[in-house]
Amino acid sequence: MSKTAQAPGVACLQLADIELPEEVDGLLDLAYNLWWSWTPAARHLFASISPDTWARYRNPVELLLNFDRSHWEAVLQQDAFATSYDEVMRDFQGYLDPNRSTWFSRSFADYDGGPIAYFSMEYGLHQSLAIYSGGLGVLSGDHCKSASDLGLPFVAVGLAYRRGYFQQAIDADGYQQHHFPEYDFRRLPLRPALDTAGRRVVVQVPMPGRPVSARVWLAKVGRVPVLLLDTDITANDPADRPITSVLYVRGREMRLAQETVLGVGGVKALAALDIQPGVWHINEGHSALLQVERLRQALEQGSVTPAAALESLAPTTAFTTHTPVAAGNEQFDRQLAEPYLEAIAPPGVEAHEFLELGRADHDEPNQPLNLTALALRTCAYANGVSRLNGEVADRMWRHISPGTPAEEPLVDAITNGVHVPTWLGLELRNLLRRNLGPDWYEELHGPEVWQRVAEIADEELWQAHQAQKERLLRFTRSRLREQYGRHGRPPGELREVAGLFRADAVTIGFARRFATYKRAGLLFSDLHRVRQLLNHPEHPVQVFLAGKAHPADRPGQELIRHLVQLSHEPDLKGRVVFLENYDMRVARMLVQGCDVWLNTPRRPLEASGTSGQKAAINGALNLSILDGWWPEGWDGENGFAFGSEDPAAEEWKRDQEDALALYHTLEEEVVPAYYERDENDLPLAWIARMRRAITTIGPRFSSSRMVRDYAEKAYMPLALGSGEPLVR
């Protein structure tokens, strides 16, 4: 029996000047592998070296660079540090052991083909690596982490954004300010990738009138290499160096240039590293131009016609569409797209052929290049990211495949999930470890292990949740004090922050992109009613908000300003708070500490919405429109649902009806249930719902389950030769 395929190894160059004592030289590899980001013991180990430096950066590479070498002797003399180091390194090396049994090695023991190549515009791996903006990026990061946990042969490709996505600051008037700091990659868990000859990997990407060079950086995510392309190098014209500067840049041509680097440059980078994928996964249409470069390589490698070469792409390609919203289905005017397609098209293939593949509508002439349509026409498997989203996407795109039988879906569904070790709070994690066993996460996909949550005492579960809630409150007060100080508030007002927010008040969390369809302001539609709700003398409610609006989204920014100004009104201060600069750390604090997780999209525009899954595994109860993943997750006892399921109603009417339903559910169900206590001040019925949320949502909506679904429904069938072009 042949050895099961594994994630490809990629050599790299050490740039940062980090010198470590021989006794702890393993810290170098650990610092450059984001395994530490979901392993509390590893983070604690780094924090113990220099607590102040860790608290400032939460980045082990920066920590080791800044740590005075003369202080190592004192650290090494601490017995607790030595013991912790040995334990962490044993676990780290055991995790990476190529002979370790994994789900993939057990399930597909005979597979010895190439890896899955996963392309995504953004990756949310950790807040220190700012190459993500929101849900798509975090989903991509969780996908990589679970691919590593499960042992899939897997390599990911993306872009190394020199300025990332913007950092958000809220000024004294509530306006969102955008800051784009420049990151020094040498101080991040990134290293230049080296080819088989030991040279730094640089690929050339054709652009209209000139080539653009892209250097390849390597981020290690457990077993999985993530390759990130960077155009900010001296070989490029100064006008081309900023191509990979900012994520989701506003300019349309710059966006097309980025997506050309991602798709075409990503395929070239894999070839330069001698990585030959068995399956290609286009995660959202941003990377669909990879098919053009694959076509060029297919024509160069064999004496086949362009038509035959094009037909050969689909059987090994999977495509995931994440949203029915127009902005998520990337398209470019023909006049803009044509020169780029001419630059990257292989000899003998005309740009208009790709424009035809990217037509979103059969009937209209001179249509834009739609990358979702291009991906669908060149793949063998396509899916949405929840059951409802799959149905919506199928209806949206069926017209491009008239040969697909009516009873057969064009777009399948694999519901998103979350990487449990990344998002589970420390207290809940320790509680599950004590009650479910030390290896409980290895059995995450089995619902039977989650049934043991029923054996956890009510008081223990409540105490763990309250400890996480107290941490959220401390974090919020610290952030507010810093923000108020920046705004010039007087010292007395800064001191008052210590008394804001209550651990015994029901706490509602809402954190996500401030896109209009997500209706972040729905809760505040009736200010008189919401004031009564929040200021109830016996049953108070507090609301924690966070989120960014794209720099081009004026309505979203105005909504943020409105909510911030409301939070400053005397009767709402300490009842409503907007946490600025929403990132993965803020998200972890909120999902781990809130009692209720609010979700208010216009159905059916929320493709999945994984923040509610993160909250649920921490015992928070979802209060949500039946959209995205929630119709699959809600069972009537593990959270709350509200609002209309009728998408035909006019928007204003639906908003009005949903707001009324939200207030009714809060006033009649949610708040009374939270404040119903026994003689020990325990909300037993609420705790029962918490337990139900953890046990029903944990196994079904983890990224471990999600990646296994991809492997069984898409990756392995395609890798083993059963793929047929999707569009007929």
Burial code of 606-626, b = ≥16 C-beta within 10 A, e = fewer? bbbbbbbbbbbbbbbbbbbbb
Which of 513, 507, 429, 519 lies closest to 475, judged by CA? Answer: 507
Strand stretches in 587-632, DSSP E: 596-599, 621-625
pLDDT, tens digit, for every residue of 78-102? 999 999 999 999 999 999 999 999 9
**pLDDT tens digits, residue range 112-137?**
999 999 999 999 999 999 999 988 99
Residues in Cβ contact with 633 at an 8 Å cutoff, skipping those fewer than 6 apart: 612, 613, 616, 622, 639, 696, 697, 700, 701
The contacts of residue 501 (CB under 8 Å, 6+ apart) are: 473, 476, 477, 507, 542, 574, 577
Residue 604 and residue 596 in contact, taking contact as beta carbons nearer than 8 Å: no
Half-sphere CA count of 70, side-chain side, radius 13 A: 0
pLDDT at 304: 84
Burial of 517 (0-12, 13-18, 19+ CB in 10 A): middle
Residue numbers of the domain that contains 586: 423-699
CA distances from 235 to 204, 211, 214 (A): 10, 10, 9
Please state, for a pLDDT cut of 70, what percent of the chain lies above it.
98
pLDDT at 1 over 60: no
H/E segment holding residue 279: strand 279-283
Q: Does residue 191 lie within any of the structural domains?
A: no
Per residue in 153-185, pLDDT tens? 999 999 999 999 999 999 999 999 999 999 999
Q: What's 387's DSSP letter?
A: H
Residue range 288-308, pLDDT digits in tens: 999 999 999 999 887 788 889
What mean pLDDT value characterizes the chain?
94
pLDDT of residue 648: 67
Contacts of 89 (CB under 8 A, 6+ apart): 26, 30
Residue 470 in domain: yes
Q: What's the pLDDT tens digit per position in 341-373?
A: 999 999 889 999 999 999 998 677 789 999 999
397, exposed or middle or buried, with CB in 10 Å at 0-12, 13-18, 19+? buried
Please determine, for residue 524, whether its predicted confidence score (pLDDT) is greater than 90: yes
Supply the DSSP symbol for 180: -
Summarize pLDDT for 25-57 with one digit per residue, the tens: 999 999 999 999 999 999 999 999 999 999 999
Residue 2: per-residue pLDDT:
43
Give phi and psi for 167, each to the nearest 5.
Answer: -90, 130
How far apart are the C-alpha atoms of 104 and 445, rounded to whole Å?
Answer: 13
pLDDT beyond 80 at 588: yes
Instruction: Give, in order, the Cα–Cα distances in Å from 69 to each of 43, 57, 58, 62.
Output: 20, 18, 19, 14
Model pLDDT, residue 173: 94
CA atoms within 13 A on the CB side of 518: 23
Helix (H, G, I), strand (E, B) or coil at 246: strand
pLDDT of 647? 67
Give tens-digit pLDDT for 303-337: 788 889 999 999 999 999 988 877 667 899 999 99
| Residue that has been written with the tokens 């899955």 in this structure | 116
Residue 441 to residue 464: CA distance in whole angstroms: 18
Asked if residue 474 is part of any domain, the answer here is yes
Q: How far apart are CA 67 and CA 547, in angstroms?
A: 34
CA separation, residue 611 to residues 123, 139, 342, 709 (Å):
16, 10, 41, 20
Cα end-to-end span (Å), the chain: 38
Listed in sequence order, the residues at least 6 apart from 99 whose beta carbon sits closer than 8 Å to its beta carbon are none
Asked if the peptide bond before residue 604 counts as cis, ω within 30 degrees of 0, the response is yes
Q: 530: which residues sit within 8 A by CB, 6+ positions away?
A: 523, 524, 663
Mean pLDDT of 399-418: 94
Chain-centroid distance, C-alpha 377: 26
The one-character DSSP state at 571 is: T
Number of domains in the chain: 1
Supply the CATH number for residue 561's domain: 3.40.50.2000
Q: Is residue 580 part of a domain?
A: yes
What residues have CB less than 8 Å from 573, skipping those under 6 apart? 500, 567
Write the pLDDT tens digit of every residue in 223-282. Answer: 999 999 999 999 999 999 999 999 999 899 999 999 999 999 999 999 999 999 999 999
Where does residue 549 fall: left (phi above 0), alpha (psi -120 to 50 degrees), or beta otherwise? beta
pLDDT at 623 over 60: yes
At a CB cut-off of 8 Å and minimum separation 6, what does 124 contact? 132, 134, 137, 138, 139, 140, 141, 142, 584
Classify residue 448: in a domain, yes or no.
Answer: yes
Q: What is the number of alpha carbons within 13 Å of residue 28 lying toward its C-beta?
A: 14
* Residue 28 placed within a domain: no
Among 259, 297, 262, residue whose Cα is nearest residue 276: 297
Per-residue pLDDT reduced to its tens digit, 474-493:
999 999 999 999 999 999 99
pLDDT at 446: 67
